[in-house]
Amino acid sequence: MTQSVFLDRVAGYDDPDLPAKAAALLAAAGCPVGPGHTALVKPNLVAPRNPALSCSHPAVVRAVCLALVEGGARVVVADSPAFGTGRIVARLAGFEEALAGLPVTIRSLDRPRRLALSGGGHIGLSRLAEEADHIVNLARLKCHDQMGMTLCVKNFFGCVCGFRKSLAHQTLGKDYDRFAAMILDVVAALPPSTSILDGVTAMHKAGPVGGEPLDLGLLGASANPVALDTAIYATLGLSPQRIPLWRAAMARGLPGTDPAELHFPLLSPNDFRFEGFVVKPELAPLAFEAKRFLRGRLKSLMITLRGGR
């Protein structure tokens, strides 16, 4: 079955056409949000470090929220970062200023509910995410040291509450396929979604926090996050053996894993200059060293305490 992926070119985050293009991409991807619907805009708020590159860009967040508000939706912007809370990191990333004047609420993805995993065990999934009528999954195109790339499917992992993400790294850290399967379980448990991929300025060489910028000018959308991710994997010359999430999606027979299935009604990936985009040749271990894990938990607590003042 053909899977549609919609790509458009954006000159930069200050491009005056960005709001119109974001709205057009949402419409093209069939985003059904309208009057009376609650839309969760789920950005990438990974951490307060290097937020201009590691987090969703506030201009894209505003453009997406504006389109949803104009369509009559109630809009909540929320995430669960690795460090701190969604509200704190959103503020540090410039969301409060960008969303000023819009009837939009910024929250943290909290209130965990136990989700049983297909590989055994469970994880805490945010009830706020589960209770939305529709999720607009706003990912940023980045490398990821442990998973190869972090695109649309990986961005849903932020719907897992707080420290439970770090704990999953520890408990599943010896098995990339099981970790990837856990993320697919999370996606399957969530409401319907539309994914937007921000590749206006991407992160390459490392990630999801400490990489380097590369301007691509790409903004993408699809009703199928797997298909949108596959378009990027294939364009970069990657293989399922290199990308655990792609491999896990193929093992489940999910639509959109085969590049031959993809249809590009607007621009194609070949219309963008990916030359020079560097992905690390080997994956880093999923599990953190004990000292790093404890240091991360203390860092998250300190950020939360400072942000609450």
CATH T-level assignment (fold) for domain 3-295: Rossmann fold (3.40.50)
The pLDDT-based confidence of 138 (bands split at 50, 70, 90) is very high
CA 36 from centre of chain: 25
Contact 207/143 with Cβ under 8 angstroms? yes
Evaluate if pTM is beyond 0.75.
yes
**pLDDT tens for residues 192-214?**
999 999 999 999 999 999 999 99
> 307 has which bridge partners?
none
Query: Three-state SS for 111?
Result: coil
**pLDDT tens for residues 265-297?**
999 999 999 999 999 999 999 875 445 545 554
CA distance 156 to 225: 10
CA distance 161 to 123: 9
CA distance 115 to 135: 18
Q: How much is the pLDDT for 292?
A: 53
Q: 8: which residues sit within 8 A by CB, 6+ positions away?
A: 21, 24, 25, 218, 219, 220, 266, 267
> Amino acid letter at 107?
R
Inter-axis angle of helices 244-251 and 176-189, to 10 degrees?
60
Distances (CA, A) of 51 to 90, 93, 239: 9, 5, 29
Domain boundaries, the chain: 3-295
**pLDDT tens for residues 47-64?**
888 999 999 999 999 999
**pLDDT tens for residues 211-228?**
999 999 999 999 999 999
